Amino acid sequence: MNKEFFINNRRRLGERIEDNSILILFAGTAPYKSADEQYKFIPNRNFYYITGIDESKIIYLMKKINGKISETLFIQRPDPVMAKWIGATITEEEAIDKSGIEEINYLDKFEDIIGSLLNRNRIERVYLDLERQEVRVNITESQYFAKMILERYPYIQIKNVYYDIADMRVIKTEEEIDLIRKAISVTNEGIMNMIKNMKPGMMEYEIEAYFNFTLMSRGIRNKAFEPIIGSGINGTILHYTDNNSRTKDGDLILFDLGAQFKYYNADISRTFPVNGKFTDRQKEIYSIVLRANKAVEEAAKPGLPFRKLNEIAKTVLIEGCKEIGLIKEDDEISKYYFHSVSHYLGADSHDVGSYDVVLQPGMVITNEPGLYIEEEGIGVRIEDDLLITKDGVENLSMNIIKEIEDIEAFMNK
């Protein structure tokens, strides 16, 4: 990603914060897995979106005093001993080149500089990314810092900048869209590699291995999320990730997966017959879901309320399920369809942003209707990634096969 992208993001963010304030963002650290083993480090996406830096422990500081903005990046001081164990940390020159931030300091100076700022300047508020998914999740570095500031500087107002950054991330630039296109393209390759080599009796994780190999062979080491490879009844479990069952002749298999390219994600679902041939019943169910998928894509355009998409999908699914006698009343659909049809897609698979909005050009959203009939062991989900354009919509994943005839023709070559 060009550093101008991050410089522009910081400029836009600086316009959103009030005068006589400072803003602090933390890259984060990798949590421990067990004993002294840590999980692989993944940068906080808001931090990365603002700085372009993907190294742990780094801190970004923006000061807005008397209308003037200045910024500092705090990096780890070089440590030759640790470099022999885990590798060298980012240098000042590298940090400047990646982020476009000219003032670089070291982490061991951070608290002194913050203390001096709060003491000598008329700082009235501190902006922090205070995102919190659940009440009981561990306290974040930003939340710990907010607590410390309130205890030691009770006159300072703490402000949550999370929603400001989330709003900015909703509309994608052409550069971001290109990264998503690349992730989708490699995901398509992985899907084709799986179904080309798939046959009844294989373990789900054996099939998954073909996807993982495709990504690694293309230089992509990260996935959007842990792949869902659910055959038979496993395909009716929304977030099934065990992938440890043996596939059976006559079953469907549901894939929900995506490559991650330079921190931008694909999110694709497809459903295929393990043996290459749909049964008549499977065709019935699949056709209903495909009809809903196409109806959502056709309706998506600027000005349409985001939440309207799910209403459109449900209407088609209800009509189809009534036609085949699966349900009699509209509210019975919740037994077979129990999620929403769309979410944002970008630097997070379930990307940030409010859903109480109308669609706008530059949004990238998913389109994923499904039906999950546990008693029949049939789970079908068809998910595409859509770009809202000024004229309507572009299906970024249109090249990934989903028509029954195309699937059967490819799998039975």
Q: What is the pLDDT along the chain (413 residues), one digit of tens a residue?
A: 899 999 999 999 999 999 999 999 999 998 888 988 888 899 999 999 999 999 999 999 999 999 999 999 999 999 998 888 989 999 999 999 999 999 999 999 999 999 999 988 889 999 999 998 888 888 899 999 999 999 999 999 999 999 999 999 999 999 999 999 999 999 999 999 999 999 999 999 999 999 999 999 999 999 999 999 999 999 999 999 999 999 999 999 999 999 999 999 999 999 999 999 999 999 999 999 999 999 999 999 999 999 999 999 999 999 999 999 999 999 999 999 999 999 999 999 999 999 999 999 999 999 999 999 999 999 999 999 999 999 999 999 999 999 999 999 999 98
202 and 290 in a single domain? The answer is yes
The whole-angstrom separation of Cα 102 and Cα 112 is 20
Residue 54 near residue 89, CB atoms below 8 Å: no
For 364, the token pair is 């990238």
115 and 249 in a single domain? The answer is no
pLDDT of 338 reads: 96
239 and 274 in a single domain? The answer is yes
177 and 165 in a single domain? The answer is no
138 and 225 in a single domain? The answer is no
56 and 195 in a single domain? The answer is no
- Return all residues near 103 (Cβ < 8 A) that are at least 6 apart: 70, 71, 72, 73
pLDDT of 225 reads: 97
The CATH number covering residue 97 comes to: 3.40.350.10
Last residue in a domain, options 169, 187, 212: 169
- Return all residues near 348 (Cβ < 8 A) that are at least 6 apart: 45, 265
Last residue in a domain, options 139, 169, 199: 169
CA angle 264, 357, 6 (to 5 degrees): 35
pLDDT of 408 reads: 98
Last residue in a domain, options 120, 149, 169: 169
309 and 353 in a single domain? The answer is yes
Residue 136 near residue 95, CB atoms below 8 Å: no
CA angle 248, 284, 227 (to 5 degrees): 50
- Return all residues near 239 (Cβ < 8 A) that are at least 6 apart: 228
- Domain hosting residue 62, numbered range: 3-169
pLDDT of 413 reads: 83
37 and 95 in a single domain? The answer is yes
Number of domains the chain is built from: 2
160 and 248 in a single domain? The answer is no
242 and 120 in a single domain? The answer is no
The whole-angstrom separation of Cα 86 and Cα 67 is 42
The CATH number covering residue 307 comes to: 3.90.230.10
Burial tier of 83 (Cβ tally within 10 Å: 0-12, 13-18, 19+)? exposed
For 223, the token pair is 């996935």
- 173 alpha-carbon distance from chain centroid: 16
Q: pTM for this one?
A: 0.96
For 260, the token pair is 């991650």
116 and 75 in a single domain? The answer is yes
185 and 61 in a single domain? The answer is no
